[in-house]
Amino acid sequence: MNEVKSLMIKSGYSDKAINYYLQKINVGELKDPSIKVIYTGPCGDTMEIFLAISSNVIEDAKFQAIGCAGAFVSGSALIEMIKGKTLEQSEKIQEINVIDYLGGIPEAKIHCACLAVRTLRMAIEKFKGSE
Ligand code: FES
């Protein structure tokens, strides 16, 4: 088993979270997004979210982060959750929904889901303000 994977299992990440991390699910940038936002959370980690929006629906999204494994798995999961959803459905997603979707992350990393959720909300607000 690879070393990162065994460390993540020991730390309390679910298999799903570990796969997202190792496969870098939804990590990257969108060329020509409808909106992009970069946000640095209180922990000092930074996330950037790119959204492609059409008729109020998030058709595609990506993120990048300078941050911990918790930030990456939360970003991967949140982007999976919002693809094909309306802006209203997406902005209702809470940290706990992201953690449930992942099926478990270490307790000390729960706040990392906030970084993803806050960045997404800021992107949606900025998009609505720009319409
Ligand atoms: Fe900052 Fe995880 S410690 S997002």
pLDDT at 131 over 80: no
pLDDT of 104 reads: 87
* Domain count for the chain: 1
Atom of ligand 1 nearest to the CA of 65: 4
Distance CA 72, CA 78 (A): 10
Which of 11, 43, 47, 95 best tests ligand 1's pocket when mutated (most atoms within 8 Å of CB)?
43
Domain hosting 121: range is 3-130
Query: Which domain CATH number covers 102?
Result: 3.90.1010.10
pLDDT of 98 reads: 97
Q: Whole-prediction pTM value?
A: 0.96
Atom of ligand 1 nearest to the CA of 115: 4
Our measurement of the distance from residue 68's CA atom to the centroid of its chain's CA atoms, rounded to an integer in Å, reads: 12
Three-class DSSP category at 56:
coil
pLDDT digits 0-9 by tens, 64-84: 999 999 999 999 999 999 999
Distance CA 82, CA 43 (A): 24
| 3-state class percentages of the chain: helix first, strand second, coil last, to nearest 5 | 55, 20, 25
Residue 45: count other Cβ atoms within 10 Å of its Cβ. 18
pLDDT digits 0-9 by tens, 103-130: 989 999 999 999 999 999 999 999 999 8
pLDDT digits 0-9 by tens, 20-46: 999 999 999 999 999 999 999 999 999
Atom of ligand 1 nearest to the CA of 44: 1
Distance CA 95, CA 70 (A): 12
